[in-house]
Amino acid sequence: MAHLSLRPFGPKDSDQVLQWYEKDRRGIELLAGVSLPDKIACILTFNKILQAQLQRAALLRMIDREARPIGLMTITDISPACDEGMPHFYIAPSERRHSIAAAKMAEAFAARLGFRRLVGSVQADNRRALGLAKRMGYLASPRVILLKELDTWVDGKYPLQQELGP
């Protein structure tokens, strides 16, 4: 069985993430939870995760197989007590046979850090991720998430974007 490991995100890893983005944009968008229309948006999104990591609100780790990156995991929305967070995984398409092993490794890592609860989220149409989550023991939450779209688009931007500037 292949040896998998987690390591901190390093300076050269941005290039790897951009390669994955070019080959599997949808997969990286699912990890990030937002649309990434170009490489700049991708870089900015990962910079935000790294910034959140400095503030103890997120973790970003590379997943290596035999010292070669095959994916990454993040834990975002870390609670103030650092005992709860939202995990996100990306495994390169050619390495997806290692998804369960990588997810188990990431969960063990989170447990060693003191996390007591992981709150997962998957797109309803992402059947592979939903299947993986179920195999990993994630259960449907008794809470229902409700979504309401607001029509606030003005002059090609949302008002908050205008307020915050470039």
Q: Output the pLDDT for position 165.
A: 59
Residue 94 included in any domain? yes
Q: pLDDT tens-digit profile of 149-163?
A: 776 666 666 666 556
Q: Output the pLDDT for position 164.
A: 62
Q: Output the pLDDT for position 158.
A: 60
Give the integer Cα–Cα distance in Å for 149 and 147. Answer: 7
Number of CB atoms found within 10 A of residue 19's CB: 12
83: which residues sit within 8 A by CB, 6+ positions away?
114, 115, 116, 117
Give the integer Cα–Cα distance in Å for 120 and 100. Answer: 15
pTM: 0.80
> Which residue spans within the chain are E strands per DSSP?
4-8, 59-65, 68-76, 84-91, 117-118
Give the integer Cα–Cα distance in Å for 94 and 112. Answer: 29
The answer to whether the CB of 46 falls within 8 A of the CB of 17 is yes
Residue 88 included in any domain? yes
Which range of residues forms the domain containing residue 91? 4-141
Q: Output the pLDDT for position 146.
A: 79
Q: Output the pLDDT for position 25.
A: 97
Residue 73 included in any domain? yes
Residue 154 included in any domain? no
Give the integer Cα–Cα distance in Å for 152 and 122. Answer: 26
Q: Output the pLDDT for position 152.
A: 66
Q: pLDDT tens-digit profile of 82-103?
A: 999 999 999 999 999 999 999 9
CATH number at residue 124: 3.40.630.30
Residue 152 included in any domain? no
Give the integer Cα–Cα distance in Å for 72 and 65. Answer: 11
Residue 71 included in any domain? yes
For the chain, what is the domain count?
A: 1
Residue 47 included in any domain? yes
Per-residue pLDDT of the chain (166 residues; tens, 9 = 90+): 579 999 999 989 999 999 999 999 999 999 998 999 999 999 999 999 999 999 999 999 999 999 899 999 999 999 999 999 999 999 999 999 999 999 999 999 999 999 999 988 887 888 888 888 888 888 888 877 777 777 666 666 666 655 665 5
